[in-house]
Chain A
């Protein structure tokens, strides 16, 4: 069964360092997303990406964050200068469409980011 894959599964970084989280969405999906979940809290939307550009972003997704689809398969989230409060589980998701019955989003297994 097709699945969203994320690497690495766990990343430890020092405050102020840049990190890149990687995702390979399901191959026939057109919409890609990043969500995050701080320990014990709800899953929060960060950004959606369609047709090689950001289509929506939340207030969390400030200038420290960027996304890219560097090739036909990978989708990355970059955090330029990590802060302690960026420590969270980051989930990549993809969906075939953006709305309607094909808008079901499937999540990768997540990358646990720990900023020390």
Chain B
């Protein structure tokens, strides 16, 4: 059974701080990794994708991937109250077909003004 694990939180950080969100996955054959943001009652919104080991930066967001450790993380710099949401880690295999997304349960982030 392919699993994606995340700490459910809540993770509480003060405004302006760095929020660090972590995710581990079980399928060593996974090739594509995504972070989605989900506000309560809304749909997942893609914020970052990463495909190779190392860091990928986009504005205030940095995704980090370590395939040897089967670990993905998301850093949010200068956190804002509007960043308060549940962050979903999603992993896609690269099997015979295109593979589906396997989601973690999500980490709830709360940014306090």
Interface residues of A (CB under 8 A from B): 31, 33, 35, 41-45, 48, 50, 55-56, 58, 89, 91, 97-101, 103-110
Contact = CB atoms under 8 A, between A and B. Distances in A.
Contact of A43 (B49, B94, B97, B103): B103
Given A42-B105, A42-B106, A104-B46, A58 B51 contact: no
A17 B88 CA distance: 32
A100 B94 CA distance: 9
B10 interface: no
Interface string B79-113: 00000000010101010011111111110000000
A89 B46 CA distance: 18
A45 B43 contact: no
B97 A56 contact: yes
Interface residues of B, number: 25
26 contacts: A33-B101, A41-B105, A42-B103, A42-B105, A43-B44, A43-B88, A43-B103, A44-B103, A45-B101, A45-B102, A48-B97, A56-B98, A56-B100, A98-B97, A99-B32, A100-B32, A100-B51, A101-B49, A104-B34, A104-B49, A105-B34, A105-B46, A106-B46, A107-B45, A109-B43, A110-B43
Contacts of A44: 103
B98 A58 contact: no
Contact of A99 (B88, B92, B103, B104): B92
A50 B105 CA distance: 27
